A and B are shown apart, each in its own frame.
Chain A
Amino acid sequence: MNSREKGDKFIIPALIMLSCVTIYPVLYVFYLSLQRRLLIFDISRFVGFENYLFLFRDDRFWNALKNTAYFTVASVSLELFLGLSIAVLLNRPFRLRGLTRAVILVPWAIPTVVSARMWEWVYNTDFGILNFIIGSKINWLGSPFWAIHAAIFMDVWKTTPFVAILLMAGLQVIPHELYQAAKVDGAGSWTTFKRITLPLLKPVILVVLLFRTLDAFRVFDAVYVLTGGGPANTTETLSIYAYKVLFQTLQFGYGSTLSVVVFLCIGSISIFYIKLLSRGIK
């Protein structure tokens, strides 16, 4: 027995554990997704890919997919941009840096549901602080245009600190000598950022993007509490739609189909990023 075989043996318990808690549920949901299963009518029969075909005719699914994609792209790119700026700023020595770093984490530390309730008040038409500050009477959560942007803004507020902290950690491992060398060569701060900081930060940026994209694509609690998917489903994401189909209307077959779609999307996003990441490291 060589050491490789020995190693394989040692991961067997972990594999068994994993298959119980993740692989089995995933397979079971896939099996459900091939069924027409309606609890209250005692219906449960195999329908093959009928549920998947119905996806193409289901406007509400496409609407949810569109909202989810928009939410993900908009919030993740804003968070990355803001997070990177904050990280770079906070990476310079200045007084009270430690305190600032701690304070900036506060939004991230507040539980999502609590912050969603908080923002519900911030956006309130009559008593909300946002309208008070900018002196308007905009119905943020009631307008089809503003509601999704209000949700994105809340997510950016909440998760930018997380992005900033991760990037800051990445910045700190970049050796100082490189910056000194750049200075000696007469590079300006923008060139230094473009030629040294960004390339060396790339692996961390990709990890941040991976985490954030997955989280944003599955977004449920924040938006569900803030708007419930309304007005007129303009903020209904895939997870919210799947939740409603599964637990409010009890269509376990079609609900599982939706969950499988979310799973497949997330799977492909992860594979895409991981490919990029492994190429970057080589």
Chain B
Amino acid sequence: MVEDFNELSSIQIDALKEIGNIGAGNAATALAQMVNAKIDMNVPKVNILPFAEVPDLIGGADSHVVGIYFNVTGRAPASILFILPIDKAIILCDMLFGKNIGDTSADDFGEMEMSAMMELGNILSATYLNALAMFTNIDFIPSVPALGIDMAGAIIDAVLAQFGEVADHVLVLDTEFKKEATDVVGYFFLLPEPGSLSSILSALGVNF
């Protein structure tokens, strides 16, 4: 049973990176098809962080973002958080709706845009989890999406609070999606619950 994230071996971390890579690769393809543009991604990072440092992954607790959250149930429960800076979210909306980039402003972000973002989150998390499920033979069942538009720290803390009962650190498997190689559009976080790691690692054959 992996209780303490700091006890993970480098082979285990590599295994997590690899499944993150496959999951995010599929998600990036889905995103590219939806917005009809080339989407790149970086190699996923496995971060073991104290709570206070998580907002730094996405540009600080103060930055204005759209967050889409999924609670994943099954044998290996986890949380998924897809975070987009607000200015990138409106660009994605323009692309999804077939408008010219710049047509929507952050103030126009209404029901239609929220709904589009939640659908985007649905597709990304479903493709990510499908890849994970194929690899591990574990079923992952995502909840309906929950959406928040606000400061990054505020979006993240409600999610982290669930982990606060059992841990002081959180394991974040994060991937950045990029449009045209440099422009970061969003951050995809998978946060497995401490007990889930054992299930995932044994399924991958690296639980020692």
B is a partner of A: no
